[in-house]
Amino acid sequence: MSEEGDTFFVNLAEKFLGLILVIIGAIMLYLTATTSGPSGLGAFITFFGVLSVIMVVIGLFLLLVRASE
């Protein structure tokens, strides 16, 4: 069975994962936006831009949504 301490650590892990996803997604978005030219990402710039935005949105979702108890 689940105890009160178990849900605390699950909630803490969820918030930590959300924070990590937001940080990695923001860094990835910045590097994707500033890399240009033929020696950069080339045709993959749209792919990595969309992927980084998705990571930021999922991270924000994990940070803002409260888990049911």
Residue 1 located in a structural domain: no
pTM, two decimals, is: 0.80
Residue 16 located in a structural domain: no
Nearest in space to 29 (alpha carbons), one of 51, 59, 44: 51
Residue 53 located in a structural domain: yes
Q: What is the pLDDT of residue 10?
A: 84
Domain hosting 29: range is 21-69
Q: What is the pLDDT of residue 32?
A: 86
Q: What is the pLDDT of residue 8?
A: 81
Residue 40 located in a structural domain: yes
Q: Which pLDDT tens digit goes with each residue over 25-69? A: 999 999 888 886 666 677 788 888 899 999 999 999 999 987 666
Q: Which pLDDT tens digit goes with each residue over 11-21? A: 888 999 999 99
- Looking at residue 59, its amino acid is G
Nearest in space to 32 (alpha carbons), one of 47, 51, 45, 23: 45
Residue 7 located in a structural domain: no
